[in-house]
């Protein structure tokens, strides 16, 4: 279900994340590896303040590998440590644990120097809807179902998942709102399935998708749709794809709705390969 964000919802979401920030040592900011900037909350820096943070690029298996590497380097150049994972298959989880321990090592060393025995690291996942927060929490839970439950000093409602010997994860993710002001961001989120199809004009989305493919992945587009060349005339391209895939309405006319759905489905289902929609070079 797509959340309709209004000022009241935003304030409530921010308040809930802020309250839970007090309980954790580190924030796992989950973003979609295909949309490393478009899938970030526009006010994330204000929301998490100075709390230690690890950027996690999820769904790396669906993103352009070369771009993912560039994005990790980009974020780290801005002072934001980042790792890439595939939460669905549990790939890269060890890199998350390792990075979290490294980031908090100075704090833990200071505690040891003062004679304080360090407890487990406590973490919380935050991110906009549909970036895979629940999948990641479930993956952690399946890895080690033991929960610490009502930890002293923690509100009774809070449940913690022991994901490693030295790491506990809050079982409720912090949900933040996506960007709204940029129409391109909306299209990108829709292409990855982060926005309900019912509220989208599918033809407009397919046109955006084809233009994006023309610019960034023309060879894949040619191979998938058996195009001798990439045409600037998108009606011609729609007609070609419609004939190729036999998308006909009554009377032998091309069914453009069907063609649009097919194009969007191809983009989402990796039929055009691993795609990234935010290119480092454009930022």
E strand spans, the chain: 26-32, 52-58, 82-84, 121-127, 160-164, 167-170, 174-175
Residues comprising the binding site for GTP?
A: 58-61, 86-87, 130-135, 174
Q: Kindly state the tokens that stand for 161.
A: 């998942």
Helix and strand element counts for the chain (H, E): 10, 7
Residue numbering of the annotated binding site: 58-61, 86-87, 130-135, 174
Could you tell me which residues are beta bridge partners of residue 55? 29, 82
Distance CA 207, CA 217 (A): 15
Tell me the Ramachandran region of residue 252: left when phi exceeds 0, alpha when psi lies from -120 to 50, beta otherwise: left
CA-wise closest residue to 31 among 66, 4, 68, 3: 68
């Amino acid at each position: 279900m797509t959340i309709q964000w209004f000022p009241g919802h935003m304030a409530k979401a921010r308040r809930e994340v802020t309250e839970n920030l007090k309980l954790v040592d580190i924030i796992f900011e989950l973003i979609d590896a295909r949309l490393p900037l478009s899938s970030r909350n526009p006010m994330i820096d204000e929301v998490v303040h100075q709390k230690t943070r690890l950027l996690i690029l999820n769904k790396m298996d669906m993103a352009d590998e070369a771009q993912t590497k560039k994005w990790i380097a980009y974020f780290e150049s801005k002072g934001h440590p980042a790792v890439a994972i595939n939460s669905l298959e549990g790939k890269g989880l060890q890199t998350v644990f390792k990075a979290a321990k490294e980031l908090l090592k100075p704090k833990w060393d200071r505690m040891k120097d003062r004679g304080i025995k360090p407890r487990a690291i406590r973490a919380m996942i935050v991110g906009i809807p549909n970036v895979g927060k629940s999948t990641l929490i479930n993956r952690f839970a399946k890895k080690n179902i033991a929960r610490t439950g009502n930890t002293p000093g923690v509100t009774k409602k809070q449940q913690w998942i022991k994901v490693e010997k030295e790491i506990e994860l809050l079982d409720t993710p912090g949900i933040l709102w996506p960007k709204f002001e940029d129409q391109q961001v909306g299209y990108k989120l829709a292409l990855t399935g982060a926005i309900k199809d019912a509220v989208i004009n599918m033809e407009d989305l397919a046109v955006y998708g084809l233009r994006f493919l023309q610019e960034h992945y023309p060879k894949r587009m040619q191979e998938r749709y058996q195009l001798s060349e990439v045409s600037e005339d998108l009606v011609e391209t729609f007609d070609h794809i419609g004939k190729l895939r036999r998308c006909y309405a009554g009377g032998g006319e091309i069914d453009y709705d069907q063609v649009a759905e097919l194009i969007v489905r191809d983009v989402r289902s990796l039929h055009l390969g691993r795609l990234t929609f935010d290119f480092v070079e454009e930022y």
